Structure 1
Amino acid sequence: MKKILSVIKLACIAWIIVPLLTGCVSTKNVPYFQDISSAETSVIPNVSTFKEPTIQPDDILSISIFTIDPTTSMVINQIGTQSLALNQATNASNSGFLVDKNGEIELSVIGKVKLLGLTTFQARDLIYAKAALSYKDPNVQVRYANFKITVLGEVKSPATYTVPNEKVTVLDALGMAGDLTIYGKRENVLLVRDNNGEKQFARLNLNSADLFKSSFYYLKQNDVLYIEPNKGKAASLNTARAQTITLVGTALTVIIALISRL
């Protein structure tokens, strides 16, 4: 009888301890860039270089042309203004000039301009050259209006973000999403990228300074970052079950203690 009671006691203790252990979250891998020296300054050689994205069909460009005569500027930018008003009326987030399937946009007065394969800097120079044929000293601004990145998984604010500047890094994206939660796997972040119609996947380690050397450190349009949950997240989802097991184990322990005294 005593042996049976001892076995039951050990089982009850295990029932109580195991849920408590599985509910703990290890903080070992929480800090970023753990391999960077603790010295006051550190230098990381061969940091990834930024490559400007090129304009592709279905991109939306924010284009503004300003001239000495403000009324002339209003005429040139008429299409963009109408697009902005339409998007505001429909609560859409993007406004600007849509690049068609031929890689062209149509500007009021200036006409069609082919921008396929150009950077925004090159597009600005091309539009300036065309505008300068009709207007004196035009000022041209070109940027993406739909440069989007998506951050999913264990971050505080998962969402799709429209970025006004195409030079955006993995850390910028995580900052916009409010950083990882305590349950996010920092050593195994998944990046999904469209590459000429194919899906490209990369794994990034936020615990290592090698992130700065990765060719994926700078994000491209429509990139998706997914932060998967760690074991602590799975344990937290079973909190109710763990609490029930603990209560049952405690009750059995009390019952065994009472029986053993009889």
Structure 2
Amino acid sequence: MQKAKIILLILVTISITSCVSKKNITYFQNDAIEQAKVSNSYKTVFKPDDLLQITVSAVDFETVKPFNLPAVSFATTTDRAIGTPQQQTYLIDNEGNIDFPVIGKLKIGGLTRQETITLLKNKLDPDYVKNPTINIRIANYTITVLGDVRKPGTYTIPNERITILEAIGLAGDLNITGKRNTVKVFREIDGKKKQFDIDLRSNKIFTSPVYYLQQNDLVYVDPNKSSSQDAAFNRNTGLFVSIGSILVSLIAVLTR
């Protein structure tokens, strides 16, 4: 009877410790949505290391040719272009500048897309191109999701607009052991890394400054305590078995 009670107690303890509380895994369960603070507007701000594709169009096709230079490779033996020409890209340097054809150096780091388009139009019209149409796209717009998610990795975002929830969806959602209340977002602002903490259980996420991610943002999900302990135990299982075997052998020898 005593043995049965002990076994029952062990089973109950295991059941309690192994169950994950619903309040720790359910999204959007806390706080009301503050509609007045929810905004669907998002502006891309260009940063150093962004690789931009800039296309200039106009009615007079000849006038825009110098500003749409193709990027080509040349054979070392014949000095001829090889492969299919592609749109030239412009890398924003550490000081926020690009070197644009004819115009020269332009400082666009810290500017939004519309501010950059306005700057280029003012530089081109009317001296070089009349009434130009300018399109700008970030060629290397990526976000990274790491930690306790199903598919960690770096993802290219073609439309340059993604929320933290969409990023988590790309990564296959959090594992059941991922901590929903302390999801971290790391973002570079003015050359310095800044950390934001997000609680996926709260509706306040919709008014967070990192609800819309920016290029090169890093999302990290911590594993919960039990997951960390399990990982440590699994790594040391062989060691525990060896120690246990030695202790059993010593006890057997000493008790003869």
TM-score scaled by length of structure 2: 0.69
User: Equivalent residue for 1:32?
Assistant: 27
Specify which of 55, 62, 85 is matched with residue 53 of structure 2: 62
Q: Aligned residues: percent identity?
A: 37
Provide the residue aligned with 1:104 in structure 2.
Answer: 97
Does the Cα contact within 8 Å between 2:63 and 2:128 map onto a contact in 1? no
For the residue of structure 1 that corresponds to 2:23, the secondary structure is coil
Task: Tell me which of 196, 199, 203 is aligned to 2:197.
Answer: 203
The residue that corresponds to 2:109 in the other structure is 116
Give the Å deviation of 1:22: 3.5
Alignment CA distance shift 1:28-1:109 (3 Å): same
Moved more, 9-18 or 28-37: 9-18
CA RMSD of aligned residues (A): 3.7
Given the superposition, is the C-alpha separation of residues 43 and 57 from structure 1 closer, same or farther in structure 2, using an over 3 Å criterion? Answer: closer
Contact 2:34 2:204 in 1 (8 A): no
Q: 2:18 aligns with which of 14, 18, 23?
A: 23
- Per the TM alignment, residue 205 of structure 1 is displaced from its structure 2 partner at its CA by 1.0
Question: 2:143 pairs with 141, 149, 165, which one?
Answer: 149
Bigger relative contact order, structure 1 or 2 (CA pairs below 8 A, ≥6 apart): 1
Q: For residues 117-171 of structure 1, what are the alpha-carbon distances to aligned partners after superposition, in whole Å with 9 as ceiling and x for unaligned?
A: 3211111122223333223333210132233322111222211223334443222
- Unaligned 5+ segments in structure 2 are 74-81, 83-87, 238-256
Q: Structure 1: 5+ residue runs without aligned partners? A: 84-88, 90-94, 242-262
Deviates more, 1:58-67 or 1:202-211: 58-67
Question: In structure 1, what residue type is equivalent to 2:117?
Answer: R
TM-score, with length taken from structure 1? 0.67
1:245: which partner in 2? none
For residues 58-207 of structure 1, the aligned pairs below 5 Å read 58-68=49-59, 73=64, 75-79=66-70, 81-82=71-72, 96-132=89-125, 133-207=127-201
User: Cα distance, 1:32 vs. partner?
Assistant: 1.5
Assess, with a 3 A threshold, how the Cα gap between structure 1 residues 100 and 194 changes in structure 2: closer, same or farther. Answer: closer
Q: Alpha carbons of 1:103 and 1:234: their partners in 2 closer, same or farther (altered >3 Å)?
A: closer
8 Å CA contact 1:64, 1:140 repeated in 2: yes
Partner of 1:192, secondary structure, is strand
**CA shift in 2, pair 1:137/1:198, >3 Å:** closer
Equivalenced residue count is 223
Residue equivalent to 2:241: none
Q: What is the distance in 2 between the residues matched to 1:101 and 1:122? A: 19
